[in-house]
């Protein structure tokens, strides 16, 4: 836990020193996803992510060279540090459980380049690099937290996936809006998205749609989330007073690779027969007061592997600020 906190402090200090474009402030965010909100403790059980998104004007050279950005487009860069934890349903057993989700941790860093094009299109390129296995500190973080809240120890971490370097290259496009309805004080819009991720950790193609209704809707693309969820860009504009919106969305993924179910790439480990199509359905609320934003999302995820007992549910809570 101390090592992880130290990494966050070092990253934040380096990013603060890098500066930001004049006239706009950077966005900092903290996010936790946990199936406690769904009254379970299994499968994808916990995720945390600390992120930074620059003011516009950063990453222009890269975006113009590799993402065909024009001088009129707005570019931003982002950095994040995160961890995801996976466990089986039976966390009291010491022995391997071949018919349940394997134990796994994923500790990673992210680098993103965002291009908001003048024709209401957002392109986002993200590179995630990290490690799966004991070096991801999943056991230490989970059992330390359980001791803190006086909960039972998780016993089966000796059966987790082996250490393996992980890499994901993801590209996503969002169109805003598919339609928009504005009335005094209220607005409605829809944002479709599509993307692809390639790597030894996750490989899939996806497409989805998000609907929003609220007061003083801003031109943003949703709150931050942890992949492979229906992730927002994490960018928003400040408001003079306050704004809010309710949202609902759905996303389908055609899955070719999921290391947390398929097991290690080059070494023997526990594995399951995964389902090649997975869908997320989500709903939530975003409240913004000036430059501070809080968001809550509840997610219903269809079964990810054969003989999975029930679909998975979890919640996500994020806090973002501009400074």
Structure tokens at 171: 């590209």
Q: pTM for this one?
A: 0.90
User: Contact, 219 vs 232, CB < 8 A?
Assistant: no
CA 62 to chain centre: 23
Tell me the per-residue pLDDT of 32-90, one tens digit each, with 9 for 90 and over.
999 988 777 889 999 999 999 999 999 999 999 999 999 999 999 999 999 999 999 99
Tell me the per-residue pLDDT of 283-306, one tens digit each, with 9 for 90 and over.
999 999 999 999 999 999 999 999
Q: Which of 38, 104, 2 is nearest to 316 (CA)?
A: 38
At residue 182, the pLDDT reads: 75
How far is CA 108 from each of CA 84, 128, 131, 137, rounded to the nearest angstrom? 9, 6, 6, 11
Tell me the per-residue pLDDT of 247-269, one tens digit each, with 9 for 90 and over.
999 999 999 999 999 999 999 99
Banded model confidence at residue 238, pLDDT cuts 50, 70, 90: confident
Kindly give the pairing relationship between strand 43-53 and strand 312-322. Answer: unpaired
Length of the chain: 323
**Other C-beta atoms within 10 Å of 245: how many?**
24
Structural domains of the chain ordered from first start: 2-322 (2.40.128.140)
Residue 2: its H or E element:
helix 2-17
């Amino acid at each position: 836990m101390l090592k992880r906190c130290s990494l966050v402090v070092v990253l934040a200090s380096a990013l603060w020193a890098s500066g930001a474009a004049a006239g706009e402030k950077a966005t900092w965010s903290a996010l936790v996803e946990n199936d406690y909100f769904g009254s379970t403790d299994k499968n994808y059980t916990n995720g945390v992510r600390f992120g930074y998104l620059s003011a516009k004007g950063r990453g222009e050279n890269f975006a113009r060279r590799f993402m065909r950005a024009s001088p009129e487009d707005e570019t931003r860069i982002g950095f994040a540090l995160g961890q995801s934890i996976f466990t089986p349903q039976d966390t009291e057993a010491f022995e391997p459980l071949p018919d349940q989700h394997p134990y796994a941790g994923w500790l990673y860093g992210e680098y993103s380049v965002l291009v908001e094009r003048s024709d209401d299109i957002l392109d986002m390129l993200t590179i995630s690099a990290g490690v799966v296995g004991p070096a991801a500190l999943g056991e230490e973080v989970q059992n330390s937290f359980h001791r803190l809240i006086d909960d039972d120890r998780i016993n089966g971490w000796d059966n987790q996936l082996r250490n393996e370097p992980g890499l994901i290259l993801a590209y996503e496009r969002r169109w805003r809006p598919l339609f928009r309805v504005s009335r005094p004080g209220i607005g409605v819009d829809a944002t479709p998205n599509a993307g692809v991720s390639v790597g030894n950790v996750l490989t899939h193609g996806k497409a989805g749609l998000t609907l929003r209704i609220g007061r003083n809707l801003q031109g943003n693309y949703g709150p931050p989330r942890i992949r492979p969820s229906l992730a927002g860009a994490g960018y928003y504009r400040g408001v003079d007073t306050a704004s809010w919106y309710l949202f609902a969305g759905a996303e389908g993924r055609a899955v070719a690779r999921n290391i947390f179910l398929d097991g290690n790439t080059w070494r023997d480990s526990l594995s399951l027969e995964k389902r090649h199509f997975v869908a997320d359905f989500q709903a939530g609320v975003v409240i913004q007061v000036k430059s501070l934003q809080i968001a809550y999302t509840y997610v219903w995820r269809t079964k990810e592997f054969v003989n999975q007992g029930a679909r998975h549910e979890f919640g996500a809570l994020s806090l973002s600020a501009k400074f």
